Amino acid sequence: MGTEKENRLGDVLKALLKERSLSMRKLAAITGIDTATISRIANGKQPASTEYLQMFAVALDVPVKRLLEATGLELSLGESRSDIHLSVESIQEILAASNLFDQHNTLQRIEQELEKYERYAQTEEGQRLILEGFETKIQQVDGMGPFITHLKEMYERFSAEPIQLRERAILGSALLYFILSADIIPDYVFPIGYLDDALAVKLALQRLSLLQVEQHPEME
């Protein structure tokens, strides 16, 4: 049964390569995975790790779910793909290993954007943009991404609950980053397509945690 699943993956990979006029050698150059390894995976002689599947998805510009379904792994990964910290950190490692982005520089640039958006979120214009633009952007991305649940929770807190200005500014910074699509990391390098937005959410959540500790030091 395992062989059948691997053959299904091989069929999908070969079909995608043909559609995109790519050779296995070219796919190897794009992903950094050895050509012989790709050949073994495509021919059902070697199982594909989830890291390889995600890298294939990036290179072939397809949802990673399509490749997961071909291996039968989608059920076992259901929980981890809904956890922002695990999924973001996992994909950061994959991209770093593939030399697709400078992690330190990327995080620094995202932090700079968040600081700028914190100030903007405190203006009438920024608040209006969040309240009027969030639902539209959610529809545009079709609700995909492990960070979407966090964003929706942030939006609810930002728009409904009476909260202090500092917390509202932090929440607003992540929401504005998502709405305005800074695209520090191009969408095509990430299976979901919104890695930098997810990182922005993660950084905002960390800031909120620090703020809570500052307000309630006994919780530390």
Distances (CA, A) of 94 to 7, 73, 130, 195, 206: 24, 18, 32, 12, 22
Assign 4 a pLDDT band (cuts: 50, 70, 90).
Answer: very low
- Ordered by start, the domain boundaries in the chain are 2-77, 84-219
The reported pLDDT for the residue numbered 198 is 81
State the amino acid at position 115 in one-letter form: E
pLDDT tens per residue, range 8-24: 889 999 999 999 999 99
Give 182's contacts (C-beta < 8 A, 6+ positions apart).
Answer: 110, 113, 196
* pLDDT exceeds 80 at position 86: no
How far is it, in rounded angstroms, from Cα 123 to Cα 130?
11
Using CA atoms of 59, 63, 67, 73 in order, give the dihedral in degrees to the nearest 10.
Answer: 130
Overall fold of domain 2-77: 434 Repressor (Amino-terminal Domain) (1.10.260)
Centroid of chain to Cα 182: 14
Using CA atoms of 23, 24, 28, 33 in order, give the dihedral in degrees to the nearest 10.
Answer: 170
Provide the whole-model pTM.
Answer: 0.57
The reported pLDDT for the residue numbered 97 is 57
The reported pLDDT for the residue numbered 6 is 41
Centroid of chain to Cα 206: 17
* pLDDT exceeds 80 at position 102: no
The reported pLDDT for the residue numbered 87 is 56
